[in-house]
Structure 1
Amino acid sequence: MSRFLFVVPPLVGHINPTLGVGAELAARGHEVAWAGLPEVLEPMTGGRATVFPCAGLRLGAGGAVRPPDVRGPGALKFLWERFLVPLAEEMAPGTERAVARFRPDVVVADQQAVAGGLVAERMGVRWATSATTSAEFSGALDGMPKVDAWLTGLLGELRGRIGDPKGAADPRFSPRLVLAFTTEELAGRATGRGGDRIRFVGPSIAARPAEPDFPWDWLDPARRTVLVSLGTANAGAGDRFLAQCRAAGRLRADRLQMVMADPAAPPDPDPAADRDVLALPYVPQLPLLARAGAVVCHAGHNTVCEALWHGVPLVVAPVRDDQPVVAAQVVDAGAGVRVRFGRATAAQLGTALDTVLDHPGHRSAAERVGASFRAAGGAPAAATRLEHLAGTAAVSTETTEEAR
């Protein structure tokens, strides 16, 4: 049996896919551990997993709050300089200790926890990339050579501080295996770096150890359920947008109910007080998606893939980072429509909701993408890929074909 160490940032959407893969590996008799921020990891793993502590900035801490007027290349520069590089430097010592103590056969490094790849390379351990978003596969920097050169230089300087100065691998793309938790039906064919190592395994969807309580009898079977979520990284940024969603929902209360994941909502509202819109700080997303007619979200890769896994069409309102790329993928696949996060009105949101709820083509497209997710194999397929990597010096063409 082998040992696998997952190195993850303190971001829920980046941790969730590793939970299913880790559970699958453990069920096959392997030893599995995580390196990351314990206060984030331990509740998500149910307190039963081995977690090696790594310091790590939370998004929005330590000056990592991106000004709303910073967009395009400036936003990418901000993300790397103010969050991802400091995160890597904070995580590197803990990652090194975890590798030394756990002695993994394979390190599985999240694409945004580049300390994982750099430390593994320096310590001579095989490593794979866990890509929880496909934005890096789109070749977005191909038309921006100066930005690409700047980022290459930044990563080279980071390697000099925490990695092997003689190393050559891009820490975002393992030279042996890149696990993409999506499919080409959504992401399209990879055109950026790492194309020959990318394996599309589909989303890793697994039950979560501690889902929040929910008043299931509040749901009216005669009305369709719409789930609204802006993810855990956008708390405080979506007050205006959520208010417009609420207004759009009330105008359609005769035919839908709206469940809103709103961090500012009271923790214990009285569901009987409002039968049309229910706002909670946290919601059991996967069970709700099994009953949802549509989702309104920020185009976070995790939420998008979970919705499409359930065949649910989307209204996407990207906020930052990779979200515009993912939103474009949803629209191109025919599985939803896009609105402007900063300017969408209740009327525009209502029209978008009517479109995805009433036009069957969007649900058919969502179901088609969801079928491709299931065919790709998800967590079991990812686990098989990692097993092959643990047992071979390199993943040969024959081996990777067998793992499909």
Structure 2
Amino acid sequence: MLPELGHLVPTLSLAKNLRAAGHEVVYLGVPDFEGWILERGFGFVPVFETVFPRGTLTENRAETAEALAARFSAYGEYLLRGALESRLRETSPDLVLADTLNDFLMVSAWSLGIRCLRLSTSLPQGWAPGVPPLSSPLPYDASPEGLARSEGAWEALLGSRTDQSSYHAIKLAVLVHRYGYPLDRIDRRGSFEAELPEFPEIVLGPSRLDFPRPPSDRRIHAESLWLDRPEVRFPWELLDGRPLVYVGGGSQAHRRRETLALGGLAAEVAAAMPDHQFVAAMPEGGPGETARPPNLIEVRFAPQLALIERSCAVIGHGGLSSLKECFYHGKPVVVIPGRFDQPGNAARVRHHGLGAVFEDSSVTVAEVVEALRRLPSDAAVRANVASVREELVTLEREQPGRRWIEAYLASGAR
């Protein structure tokens, strides 16, 4: 998986189900995650040690362009000397579950004849009629005008990748020339990376949260919630019974300027709603220059599941893991999206009537206050959230991901 907690946490439910069924589960990861994986009882094999030396992920990751270029150079050198294939040969797995953004791992496994499935910690990232890129805030629209807007968004995205010196062009060249992967098997219409559709995909999230897509027997939606995780300590005695609103910055809060902006907005909203209490999980620095009102409790780390369960609504950036946890507990959301898949997730929240969505550049305190007073008692919103919750509960109970993997292994398919 990619070296982010947001890409590791959603895999734990599936990994635990596979282990409970008698399978050995080993994570390939960067050294900084070794302790985290071993504490959870899984095997660990380090990869990309020269790209992400131990200690890298505990540093301030607001890297300069020069540092990112050096990282990309080290990444390329690691691949060109065959280090990833060496690790796969040493591990000798029966099956590789590769992060859908890590196409080098998929193609490395392919080059060695090792079976491989894609594992997506986001909603599906590929093209479908009327579905804009997951990075886009555009709505789903099957009308001729909507289809044209969606296609225009895809054309703009792919047009930004045509520079032959760009990351995407270089990566494509490595896949084709270093590994001999057939160019006609690569679909460039991926929201963040080119898609490799020959590898079946396990999506770690509910289908009811996505835009409408044609059904596919090469994709399954699977269990993804880490519900039994240990929670951090919290001053519960400070909660006094007023309706609670939880404000979560997400798993990448440390690297987002917009997280502090969210904290500042939360402080202003809390000041305008003295009949509610607010808990905000924010990075160091607090809500900036905004005064902290007495009904706002701010912590560095929060017991998110327990706080969501107690809340009447949740404010966040729209990261998929947090959205799933909110809907599992039946809570509506106020989403102010940041980057990556968050604009697309927010568009899907709006499409399915699961909460309120605002743009960071134009949102007002009055709009958020109105949404927080309306959403908890909105019957339509509650019914929509309950529908997504039903699928999430079913996925955790029925374990379709584990079953699909076992059927794939038994079939001998490649």
With structure 1 as the length reference, what TM-score do the two structures score?
A: 0.79
Please say which of residues 49-58 and 164-173 is displaced more in the overlay.
164-173
1:175-233 alpha-carbon deviations (Å, 9 max, x no partner) = 24201122332103336xx94411122x511235543212233333x322211112232
Is contact 1:327–1:338 with CA below 8 Å preserved after alignment? Answer: yes
**Does the residue aligned with 1:289 lie in a helix, a strand or coil?**
helix
Partner of 2:263: 242
Query: How far did 1:166 drift?
Result: 4.3
Aligned partners of 1:307 and 1:279: how far apart in 2? Answer: 19
Conserved 8 A contact 1:88-1:115: no
> How far, CA to CA, are the matches of 1:349 and 1:251 in structure 2?
10
Instruction: Select 2:112's aligned residue among 104, 107, 123.
Output: 123
Identical aligned residues as a percent = 22
Q: Distance in 2 between the 1:325 and 1:87 partners?
A: 31
1:205 aligned partner: 225
User: Where does 1:305-324 land on structure 2 (aligned, <5 Å)?
Assistant: 305-324=324-343
Secondary structure of the 2:334 match is strand
Unaligned runs of 5+ in 2: 134-150, 163-167, 187-193, 287-291
Aligned equivalent of 1:76: none
- Once residues 314 and 155 of structure 1 are traced to their aligned partners in structure 2, the CA distance between those partners, rounded to angstroms, is 37
Label 1:294 to 1:173 Cα distance change in 2 as closer, same or farther (>3 A). Answer: farther
Output the CA distance in 2 between the equivalents of 1:377 and 1:136: 23
Partner of 2:158: 148
**Aligned to 1:136, what secondary structure does the other structure show?**
coil
DSSP-derived class of the 2:25 partner? strand
Contact 1:218-1:275 within 8 A present in 2 as well: no
Which residue pairs with 2:280 in the alignment? 260
> Is the contact between residue 248 and residue 316 of structure 2 (CA under 8 Å) also seen in structure 1?
yes
With 135-144 and 179-188 compared, the bigger mean Cα shift is at: 135-144
Measure, in 1, the Cα distance between the counterparts of 2:343 and 2:69: 20
Q: Is the 8 A contact 1:115 1:162 kept in 2?
A: no
Q: The residue matched to 2:315 in structure 1 has which SS?
A: strand
State the 1:91 CA deviation: 7.2
1:189 aligned residue (206, 209, 212): 212
Which among 21, 26, 39 is matched to residue 33 of structure 1?
A: 26
- State the match for 2:180 in structure 1: 164
RMSD value over aligned CA atoms? 3.3
Pairwise CA distance, 1:145: 3.9
Matched, 1:178 2:164: no
**1:353 aligns to 2:372 (yes or no):** yes
Native 8 Å contact 1:297 1:314 kept in 2 = yes
- The Cα offsets for residues 325-383 of structure 1, whole Å up to 9 and x where unpaired, read as 11011111111110112332322222222232342322221111111222344782111
Partners in 2 of 1:23 and 1:258 — Cα distance? 34
1:401 counterpart residue number = none
Equivalent residues in 2 for 1:5-404 (5 A)? 8-40=1-33, 42-43=35-36, 46=39, 48-55=41-48, 60=61, 62-63=63-64, 89=76, 92=79, 95-137=84-126, 139=128, 140=132, 142-143=151-152, 144-145=154-155, 147-148=157-158, 150=161, 153=169, 155-160=171-176, 163-166=179-182, 169-170=185-186, 172-190=195-213, 195-201=216-222, 203-207=223-227, 209-220=229-240, 222-235=241-254, 236-237=256-257, 238-254=259-275, 256-264=276-284, 276-377=295-396, 380-394=399-413
Contact 2:260–2:285 under 8 Å retained in 1? no
Secondary structure of the 1:158 match is: helix
CA positional deviation for 1:130: 0.8
SS at the partner of 2:39?
Answer: coil
